[in-house]
Structures are given as C-alpha cells and as structure tokens.
Amino acid sequence: MSCRIKKSKSDVVFDIINYSLLTLVLIIVLYPLWFVVIASFSDPLSVLRGEVWLIPKGFSVDAYKEVFANKDIMVGYKNTCIYTILGTAVNLIMTIMAAYPLSRKDFYGRGTIMALFTFTMFFGGGLIPTYLVYDKIGLINNIWVMILPGAVGVYNLILMKSFFESSIPYELQEAAVIDGCNNLQILSKVIIPLSKPIIAVMVIFYGVAHWNEFFNALIYISDRKKIPLQLVLREILITQSKLGDMAGMDSSVAQKQLNAERIKYAVIIVSSLPVLCLYPFLQKYFMKGVMIGAIKG
C-alpha cells in the first residue's frame, strides 16, 4: 500500500509474542511426529531408557524390515489399498451423479431431493438397525461393506453442487446446448473438465476417510483375509495381541518386548506415510473447498 506507516512499538511487541507463541505451537504439533520418526530408526533399548530426544540413537532399519516381513500388515495394506481406490472411485462417481442434476435450476424436484439427503445428516437409524439392514442385504464380511456405506457424503455433495453452481458460468452450459449437447455431454465435456479443484478436494477427503476407516471394519469384517490395515494396527498398537508372533519365536521374552516396541513406531510411519506425503500437494485446494462450503452451506 502507498501509505506505509512505521510500525509502532506495541506492534513490534505484538509480533514478537505472536511469532514465539506460534513457533511453540508448531513445536508441540511437530515433536510427537518427529519422535515417532526417530524412535522407529533407533535402538529400542535407548528409546525405552529415554536416551532418544532429537536424533536417532543406534541407527537401524530393522524395525522396517520386520514390518515389511509381517504377513498381517502386508495383507491389511493390500486390502486397504483396494478399498481406498475402489471406494474413492465409487464416491466420486456417485457424488457427481447427484451433484450435477441438483445444481441445475431447471431440475424439477431438486429441493425435495436435497431435503431428503440433508435430513440424513441430522438423523439416522443408529448402529443396530443399520447392522440388521446390512445383515439382510449380505454385507457382513463382504468387502463391499468397506466401499458402499458412505458412498455419498452429504456435506461433500453440497460442496460439489455449490461448486457447479457458483464456479462454472451457466452461460457455458447454455452454449453447449446450442451446440447440440445433451445433458450427459454437458456433464462430461463442460462440467467435469472445469471441476478439477473440487475433484481434488473430494479425492483427498474421501480417500483419507477410506484409508483410515476403522469402524465399519470392526463391526462388519471378521474374516482375517479381508481386514484392512487399521484393524491390524489396532492389534499391534493397542490391544497388543500379536506381539508374540511379531518379534520372532527364538528370541528371549525381553528381546521380544523390545522389538515389539520398536515395531510400533515403524508401523505408525508405514501406515501414515502415504497420506501425510500426499496431502501437502493438495493443500492449496482445501481453503477453496471450505470456502465454497462456507458461502453456501
């Protein structure tokens, strides 16, 4: 700006306090994550003794070797990949299929249908009736139970519909009609190519939800061959029922416990890395997504 006024003394104090407080916050957020990283590369005994603080001590990648040699983890990893890819694809297709008609002002009944969808945000059948329905349609222990429930998130649907309404000029659709496009051609040739930002937001929202999905698996999947990564993680990190097999049979009990400790850190890294690496690239779209929601929501 043209009139730059010299910072007053109180503003300088304000800035110093603000920068230091925020730095402190960042350290609090970051340190636990950093600690997991260094602990996973360290000698487990030093970690337990509290000798590891800033950098790995007794560097080794044995924990990772064990994680990748573990059959349960690898089966879970594979399943989760399948559920995430398939599930996100279904989510995207279904959300677009609903959002596009609802974004059209000449779509008769849009208000009623929208109300029907929105109502489910505030009221639902609850766990037991849902369980009975899934039982009836054969979703128990079926991999589709990891894909179909939540196929359309109402909040995401509203985001996408608002994007179609506010970010794509209606005149473009009119022009397409004049060029002889039917509705489906408008959707595939005009709308979708212009919707990359919102599709990126949807991919990360839905994708992360599938990657981290735990509840449906806990309730509906008991077949060991179908369980996703998060259930395996629960056994390793929290209920610790698999500790015995994890650390190999020939070592002493103490050694087993040590290895189990170290595996915990490595397994956290291995399971969270795909998401944590991917998200900074899509970060620029979040604000946009939230803003569309905030304006219309």
Partner 1 sequence: MDSQNVLLGRKQHTKRDKSAKSLKNNWDLYLLILPVLIYFIIFCYWPMYGVLIAFKDFNPVQGVMGSPWVGFKHFINFFKSPYFLQLLSNTLGISIYQLIVGFPAPIILALMMNEIGNKFFKKSAQTITYAPHFISTVVMVGMLTVFLAPDTGLINLIIKAFGGESIPFLIRPEWFKTIYVFSDIWQSTGWSSIIYMAALSNIDQEMYEAATVDGANKWAKLRYITLPCLIPTAIILLILNVGSLMGVGFEKVFLMQNDLNMEASDVISTYVYRRGIQGAQYSFSAAVGLFNSVVNSILLVTVNKICKKAGDTSLW
Residues 113-132 within binding reach of partner 1 (CB under 8 A): 113, 116-117, 120, 122-132
Selected binder of partner 1 within 82, 230, 242, 243 (CB under 8 A): 230
Nearer to partner 1, 182 or 250 (CB): 182
Q: Name the minimum Å distance from CB 65 to partner 1.
A: 20
Three-state DSSP class for 135?
helix
Any contact of residue 55 with partner 1 (CB under 8 A)? no
C-alpha span between 60 and 47 (Å, rounded): 13
Nearer to partner 1, 29 or 61 (CB): 29
Q: Name the minimum Å distance from CB 183 to partner 1.
A: 5
Nearer to partner 1, 145 or 250 (CB): 145
Ramachandran angles phi, psi of 85, nearest 5°? -65, -50
Q: How far out from the chain centre does Cα 72 lie?
A: 22
Selected binder of partner 1 within 54, 184, 249, 253 (CB under 8 A): 184
Site string for partner 1, 59-88 (x = CB under 8 A): ------------------------------
Nearer to partner 1, 21 or 85 (CB): 21
Selected binder of partner 1 within 41, 163, 211, 285 (CB under 8 A): 211
Which residues have C-beta within 8 Å of that of residue 167, sequence separation ≥ 6? 194, 195, 198, 292
- Any idea what DSSP says for residue 193? G
Selected binder of partner 1 within 16, 55, 69, 290 (CB under 8 A): 290
C-alpha span between 175 and 69 (Å, rounded): 58
How far, in Å, are 143, 286, 287 from residue 293 at the CA level? 32, 11, 10
Selected binder of partner 1 within 81, 212, 243, 255 (CB under 8 A): 212
C-alpha span between 196 and 198 (Å, rounded): 6
Contact 159, 289 (CB under 8 A): yes
Nearer to partner 1, 128 or 249 (CB): 128
